[in-house]
Structure 1
Amino acid sequence: MEALLIGIPFLIYIFLRIRLGNDITPQEYDEIIFKEGVDAYKSADYLTAFRYFDAEVYEYPKSSTAYLYRGKCHYYFENWEAALADFEKSMRLDNSLAETFYWKGLCHYQLEDYNLSLFELKRSSRMYLDKNAEVMRFVGELEFRKADFESAEKSLKIAAELGDNKSNILLQTLFYGNIRKASS
């Protein structure tokens, strides 16, 4: 009898909690708050987006999304070190964003630090569960640079299976021989 008195209200509470709970992630919530800046970034108005997120970083210092988008704007302006600092700050605030690892890897790639770039891009690919063709192509390119040809071929094949045409071209030219054979 006591179990029913405790159990039934508890089950009602759990049911209501699930039905009325907040199903939105912190990043989705931030993107709603920063809709103006995100729209400016997506429409390739990087200067407006940068100004917006630069102001929002001071207003919302604990928002990893604001740092992520400000870092993306820095990346577009080819300010690699500032972008890297913003991506690191974003990762310190929320290390569950695969996109942050991807952009951080691209910054290291632009700075020609290929080992760190490969490390960050592999972390990103694990978070995307190897379902992002761009990430897998970059991983394949970096593994090829490090002369790890088997892993490079495997990564490029995964990217090609996901529909990346650049990976198909790289596979054909790097591993399957040139399409046009040089006449001797």
Structure 2
Amino acid sequence: MLELLVVITFFGYIYYLRNYADLRTKSEKEEAAFAPGITLCANGQFEDAFLYFNARVKERPASCIAHLYRGLAEKGRGDRGAALADIQTAVSLDDDVFRAHMELGKLYLEDGKSEDALSAFNKAVTAAQESSPEPYHWRGKVYSILGQGGEATADFLSETRLLEKIKNNKSAANVVKPPFLDKKLIISASMVFFTSALVVAVVKDAESIHLPYLVAVFSAIIIGFAEPYKGWLLALMQCALILAGYFLFTSRPSNEAERELENFSLYGSMILTFVASFLGGFMKRALNMQ
């Protein structure tokens, strides 16, 4: 029964991490993962960027971001036909990436297809959800070309408003630090209560030190993975709860051998909690850097 609880707990944590701990979309995660190639594009190193994203497309043929930036690299190399095909593919793979719509609109605009460009920029404005002024800027340019001065003025005003908003947010971010105790930390802390109780139960019931150590390691790795910078606090909390749970809510065995086994299991689990939480945090930070 305890082994079943271990499995359920482990996969419950994985489900939480997969679905709730990281709230980024698939394309946002890919942007972070492909940062080296995106930097190459931004620096005008289009040959190197093409090689980088060509490899990424082969690895992940369903990646919107890989197709988008391979298309931008191809555009930089002068291969507009391939660029158009890749960016159209990017739009088809993820309709919510505003930059894909925007870059497609730029290609249409450069080819003199103003109506097609306007349609692409409309989608870019919708997908951006007020997060970037660029779609407004480019749609405003198309409206100007089409002689729709009122719409163009409105878009340029929206561009200016968002630029000012972003500037103010950056200024505020430099002054106000994000709260230490956020929603994610509270949720993770609430889960520590359950894992601590599970460790105590395993310590009391196990016939060897292996299972308690296994439970402590699994739970602590996931603590560090969920909170790579605050995992030390959750590790401290788990150790305190394990001690409190063991000494306040359980009785010590009368047999000397059983007492020694429980002591080894208890204190060993606490030591492993710190080590494994550090390991989990290290793994998460390493993945974020890729």
**TM-score normalized with structure 2 length:** 0.47
Whether 1:96 aligns to 2:96 is yes
Residue of structure 2 in register with 1:121 after alignment: 121
- Compute the RMSD of aligned alpha carbons: 2.5
- Relative distance call for 1:113 and 1:29 in structure 2 (3 A) is same
| Letter aligned with residue 53 of structure 1 | F
1:60-79 to 2 correspondences below 5 Å: 60-79=60-79
1:1-184 to 2 correspondences below 5 Å: 16=13, 19-22=16-19, 23=22, 24-163=24-163
Q: Which moved more, 1:136-145 or 1:101-110?
A: 136-145
Residue of structure 2 in register with 1:3 after alignment: none
- Secondary structure (helix, strand or coil) at the match of 1:66 reads helix
Per the TM alignment, residue 108 of structure 1 is displaced from its structure 2 partner at its CA by 0.5
- Whether contact under 8 Å (2:104, 2:117) holds in the other structure is yes
- Whether contact under 8 Å (2:44, 2:76) holds in the other structure is no
Residues paired across the two proteins, number = 152
Q: Which moved more, 1:94-103 or 1:42-51?
A: 42-51
Which ranges of structure 1 fall in alignment gaps of 5 or more residues? 1-11, 165-184
- Whether contact under 8 Å (1:30, 1:65) holds in the other structure is yes
* Aligned-partner Cα distance in 2 for 1:163–1:38: 23
**TM-score normalized with structure 1 length:** 0.71
| Letter aligned with residue 57 of structure 1 | V
Give CA deviations for 1:15-57 in whole Å, capped at 9, x if unaligned.
8577433414322332354344233224432210111212332
* Aligned-partner Cα distance in 1 for 2:54–2:97: 20
Residue of structure 2 in register with 1:169 after alignment: none
Residue of structure 2 in register with 1:6 after alignment: none
| Letter aligned with residue 21 of structure 1 | R
- Relative distance call for 1:55 and 1:134 in structure 2 (3 A) is same
- Relative distance call for 1:50 and 1:61 in structure 2 (3 A) is same
- Relative distance call for 1:86 and 1:150 in structure 2 (3 A) is same
* Aligned-partner Cα distance in 2 for 1:32–1:147: 39
